[in-house]
Amino acid sequence: MALMEAFDIPRGMTHEVLARTFSAYLQGALAFENSLDDSGQLRKGPYKKEGRDTDWQLDDTNDFWLYIRDDKAILICRYARQERIAAAAIALFKARFLEDVEADFVPCMSIVVAKRSNHYLAYVDGRPNIWATGKSAYEAVGDLIMHHKDVTGIKIDNQT
């Protein structure tokens, strides 16, 4: 498993809202298809570890986990190749919810994800010339953010 850095949880944000936010980031457009099952659990995640409000499986592939410790959260991904996706999700979260956001961040950007025959396409809504592809929606969105930082306004530290 690849460990990501701990980051602050905004004051007043519940653990469930935090988990749902990251789950939606990772699912992309698939989050709109995420319905409740008979037990009231979301079908595609996030899934709360039984008996704990601090450990969350974020997706239905078991690849991404969120651990909450006091006022910090840690996002963990199963494979090293997913680190850039996790880093992009953390950067997006920090830009959206934490107070130390840089003034030039563009807060109202939408990313469109479309499934093609053998890949996913992600592009900035209204700007189809700013795009990326991947084997999954997660990979396409991660590549879009990583390769078009000048457009998205998301800055990621410790890039490899």
- For the chain, domain boundaries: 1-105, 106-152
Cα–Cα dist 48/57, whole Å: 6
Of the candidates 8, 23, 12, 10, the one whose C-alpha atom is nearest the C-alpha of residue 65 is 23
Which spans in 1-157 are helix H? 15-27, 83-97, 137-147, 149-152
pTM: 0.56
Q: How confident is the model at residue 159 (pLDDT cuts 50, 70, 90)?
A: low
Tell me the per-residue pLDDT of 33-79, one tens digit each, with 9 for 90 and over.
766 677 766 666 787 887 777 899 888 888 999 999 988 999 999 88
Q: Phi and psi (nearest 5°) for 156?
A: -120, 125
> Is the distance from CB of 2 to CB of 76 less than 8 angstroms?
yes
Count of CB atoms situated within 10 Å of the CB of 45: 24
Peptide bond into 107 cis (omega under 30): no
Q: What is the DSSP letter of 121?
A: E
